[in-house]
Structure 1
């Protein structure tokens, strides 16, 4: 696969990184110093920094065990950082252009919970996409927040949901000027990016803070050829999964905060409420290390990687039966930008395999692990750790699969999926959380209140959310998709649905 630079669709202004400032890892350096002192441990954790060399924990390496430590003056305290944790978080904030950054050891789920708990009071309205992550729904249920759902743009060909349009967000604000905040993804799981800067400016005109699920956008900061990051767009808070595309350990994330619309003391108070008092130093130090690597090497590596990705996509589009999201067409159709580091590969019906079968085949026959599979899709994620050799392995595998499984005379058709009208909200998410529930057949559920969200993948947009009324349209559509090779999320029996059990039933 020969690499040639393709002019990107969008080039954002790039704020330079002060690399001299980021050559240090305060927390990681303190851990290494502590390890070198060979301290006799009468504190936790119970493996005593790997004292028992016969333990199978040694499989992970003695350095891992020696760095798995507890809070102490030399290593600072997560609940009230004043030393090396505070220094490391300040460097992370500087890198991402935030006022503050907080290490998270329970993933971006914790960051999403913190954003909603910090901003919203019981009964407050939150404007958000219909296709949000389940952690958002759980946080709203716990905080007793009223969702104002906005339908995302829907891709008929690929059968997936993308992001929110500016016009739809504006309509939601106009219809609900009393909403407390806007919640948005940057990007979606499949890499769709709204005009976040324009949406943020609009929200701020109405004194509404913008909360961002940036789980899949930790890399945006490091290339002018990638979409704008949340802090660059002026958002107020963002939960950013550095473990997904930034190189830190799984479950490590960060909460970024900026601006005057956020009570920063309350944010820290909520974080302390949600986080273990034994925050993992392995996870936190991996954030410190990832931050340094991104600052020193991120821009250079992405400059090398982006044209390789573009060439890979062109090559995949030339393979019979496989198609990739095209950034130019994507922008024309949806007025949204595409994160080119997401490899969303559509498998048309001339390939006699489903997305699930291609996913399994890549793993079993080609030793390639993709991020996910859907009936008509596979998707992979590229990070700065990848290179041309790695992408060539996937390209060669797809070419091989096409040779074996492409049938030119098969009819090409798109998924028969659609968006439904958003149903009436009859109960709050919190009321549903504590209500009694029972399962009934879907054909008997007309007019009942759904007790659990029903959705299909793709597109990942709920057909009906918990607390919403089940209409005839929903009954008909759920029965229709039961006959389709589609993942259905709801009850174990796909012909049933959980409903709120009313008194006397």
Structure 2
């Protein structure tokens, strides 16, 4: 089967990203564009269109208009996903050799930016649930303890990165965390890739958007948590701790010189769609429906984990002795396609189209899964072996560029890594370049082998002694 033929394959239910549910919730303006002759919209940076960094043109005008409507200083569209704009934000905040404070559950794109710019991460640990195998939201008390364990006189911290919400929908009360950073005169970049729609739905009991919580830079994925096409994103600029010219230089350094015109149009249309009152009312209805779906499934004794994002249905498969990967294969085979399998859970993304038939389909397959799948009640999530605060022994950029050799991971004990060890999903690095590979982490990978099957027999690049 070719790629193009697979792209036309129909599933019983597409509960994965992008959140437009295979076109069902695409903005009307984008649908009209896609109905044109194939390729009609594939244009270069004509003067009338411009680019995200142009000082004139339709893209410039759209960004200015949207920023004003949402009361931010500026916004810039991106066509390299949230990853590209997160990386731009990082190199805006920090110069080579400077430190950035970040949680252990940052996305792999953050580590790559640190390697590129030779920025040194200071990782802080997060509370962990052995019941779910998930990191938990960050509390103000926890965050203050992190700062109390850092010598701010010795380490020149240039900024802070926060992730909110997480992939599965967990969200912290982020405003007090940002306030703590600002008290230390530290700018904050929030990876809000999974929470774009929070900004538009402030009266639905959802987490407060990082934009409204006074973060300096906020990155939204427009395909994960709005209804844009895959690869579309936006970065929002606020506050006085980040200079706009530095942000523009950083975006210019990393963005393509040939941005796709369809994707740029999707950036504008997906945000405008949510600024339209009638459309917003429709999406608010979808969110209310999602809350009802969760309650009804719970009522039917299906083991779900509640997070702060109602559009995420997190199935606790381990409660009935089934791992998330086995459950994912079963649902996939039967046409109900989830987004994120993990050792103890399976996450479905409802998206923004009507899901009126979801409950009956889901319950039917759930009951078949219970009958047809072997059970194992030995599933045990172990907290990753991280200290509260730690940095790589060798600067990450130095380790990345050093002369190395490859050895089996099982033989790497005591060596300094030149690789990123990052089980995917969910894309959270376990080992980064410059970190010494200790027994605790090797043991963790072995004991959590179901989650890291591809790592057990893998090779890793390490530094010469």
TM-score, normalised via structure 2 length: 0.84
Deviations 1:379-425 (A, max 9, x none): 11233x22241533543344443563488xx6756523223133662
Cα separation, partners in 2 of 1:458 and 1:76, compared to 1, 3 Å: closer
Give, in whole Å, the separation in 2 of the partners of 1:359 and 1:171. Answer: 38
1:149 aligns with 2:149: no
| Match in the other structure for 2:18 | none
Contact 1:437 1:498 in 2 (8 A): no
1:313 aligns with 2:294: yes
Cα separation, partners in 2 of 1:179 and 1:390, compared to 1, 3 Å: farther
| Match in the other structure for 2:386 | 421
For structure 1, which segment, 394-403 or 138-147, has the greater mean C-alpha deviation from structure 2 after superposition? Answer: 394-403
For structure 1, which segment, 99-108 or 84-93, has the greater mean C-alpha deviation from structure 2 after superposition? Answer: 84-93
Find 1:121's aligned residue among 95, 102, 115: 95
The answer to which structure, 1 or 2, has the higher relative contact order (CA under 8 A, 6+ apart) is: 2
Q: Determine helix, strand or coil for the equivalent of 2:40.
A: helix
User: Cα distance, 1:181 vs. partner?
Assistant: 0.8
Q: Determine helix, strand or coil for the equivalent of 1:259.
A: coil
Find 1:215's aligned residue among 190, 193, 205: 193
Deviations 1:118-171 (A, max 9, x none): 110111111101011100000011111111101122111111223433233323
| Match in the other structure for 2:56 | 82
User: Cα distance, 1:458 vs. partner?
Assistant: 7.6
1:371 aligns with 2:342: no
Q: Determine helix, strand or coil for the equivalent of 1:204.
A: helix
User: Cα distance, 1:358 vs. partner?
Assistant: 2.2
Cα separation, partners in 2 of 1:476 and 1:369, compared to 1, 3 Å: closer
User: Cα distance, 1:271 vs. partner?
Assistant: 1.4
Give, in whole Å, the separation in 1 of the partners of 2:270 and 2:135. Answer: 31
Contact 2:130 2:383 in 1 (8 A): yes
User: Cα distance, 1:107 vs. partner?
Assistant: 0.9
| Match in the other structure for 1:487 | 452
Contact 2:273 2:280 in 1 (8 A): no
Structure 2: 5+ residue stretches without partners: 1-26
Contact 1:312 1:395 in 2 (8 A): no
Q: Determine helix, strand or coil for the equivalent of 1:389.
A: coil
Matches within 5 A, 1:152-167: 152-167=126-141
Q: How many pairs align?
A: 430
| Match in the other structure for 2:235 | 255
Contact 1:71 1:78 in 2 (8 A): no
1:339 aligns with 2:306: no
User: Cα distance, 1:465 vs. partner?
Assistant: 2.6
Contact 2:133 2:343 in 1 (8 A): no
| Match in the other structure for 1:301 | 282
Find 1:279's aligned residue among 238, 247, 259: 259
For structure 1, which segment, 311-320 or 338-347, has the greater mean C-alpha deviation from structure 2 after superposition? Answer: 311-320
Give, in whole Å, the separation in 2 of the partners of 1:201 and 1:138. Answer: 27
User: Cα distance, 1:96 vs. partner?
Assistant: 3.9
1:454 aligns with 2:421: yes
**Superposed CA RMSD:** 2.9
Give, in whole Å, the separation in 2 of the partners of 1:457 and 1:413. Answer: 23
Structure 1: 5+ residue stretches without partners: 1-22, 33-59, 328-337
User: Cα distance, 1:77 vs. partner?
Assistant: 4.2
Structure number, greater radius of gyration: 1
Contact 2:120 2:391 in 1 (8 A): no
Cα separation, partners in 2 of 1:132 and 1:173, compared to 1, 3 Å: same
Contact 2:122 2:391 in 1 (8 A): no
Matches within 5 A, 1:163-202: 163-174=137-148, 175-177=150-152, 178-202=156-180
Deviations 1:167-214 (A, max 9, x none): 333233341434111100121111111221111111111110110111
Matches within 5 A, 1:123-142: 123-142=97-116
| Match in the other structure for 1:360 | 329
| Match in the other structure for 2:13 | none
Give, in whole Å, the separation in 2 of the partners of 1:395 and 1:273. Answer: 46
Q: Determine helix, strand or coil for the equivalent of 2:380.
A: coil
